[in-house]
Amino acid sequence: MEFGFTAEQAELRDTVRSFLSRHATSARVRAAEGFDAGLWQRLTGELGVAALAISEEYGGFGASEVEVGLVLEEAGRVLLPAPYLATVTAAAAVDGELAADLLAGIADGSTIATLALAEPGVGWTPESWTCTARRSGDGYLLDGVKEHVLDGQVADVAVVAAVCDAEPGLYAVRTGDARRTGYATLDPTRRQARLEFTATPATLVGRRGVAHALDLLWAALAVESVGVARASLELTIDYLKTREQFGVPLAHFQALRHRIADLAVAVEAATSSAWYALRVAGTAEFAVAAPVAKLVATRAAYAVTAESIQLHGGIGFTWEHDAHLYLKRATANQLLLGDEVTLRRLIATRAGL
DSSP codes of every residue in 251-306: GG-HHHHHHHHHHHHHHHHHHHHHHHHHHTTTSTTHHHHHHHHHHHHHHHHHHHHH
pLDDT of residue 1: 62
Q: Could you read off the pLDDT of 135-149 as tens digits, one per residue?
A: 988 899 999 999 999
Task: Say if residue 166's pLDDT is above 80.
Answer: no
Q: How many CA atoms lie within 13 A of 297 on its CB side?
A: 32
Residues 247 and 243: their CA atoms lie apart, in Å, by 10
- Over residues 257-262, the mean pLDDT reads 92
197 bridge partner residues: 144
Q: Which residues pair with 174 in a beta bridge?
A: 157
Q: Which pTM was predicted?
A: 0.94
Choice among 171-185, 232-246, 260-274, 330-344 with the minimum mean pLDDT: 232-246
Half-sphere exposure of 117 (CA within 13 A, CB side): 25
Tell me the mean pLDDT in the region 220-249: 90
pLDDT of residue 130: 86
pLDDT value at 353 more than 90: no
Residue closest to 30 by CA, chosen among 189, 231, 150: 189
Pinpoint the alpha helices (H) of 114-253.
210-242
313-330 confidence digits (pLDDT tens): 878 888 899 999 999 999
- Chain-centre distance of CA 111, in angstroms? 18
- How far apart are alpha carbons 158 and 171 in whole angstroms? 8
Q: Are 166 and 175 in contact (CB under 8 A)?
A: no
The domains located in the chain, with CATH, are 7-107 (1.10.540.10), 113-208 (2.40.110.10), 211-350 (1.20.140.10)
Q: How far, in Å, CA of 48 to CA of 31, rounded? A: 24
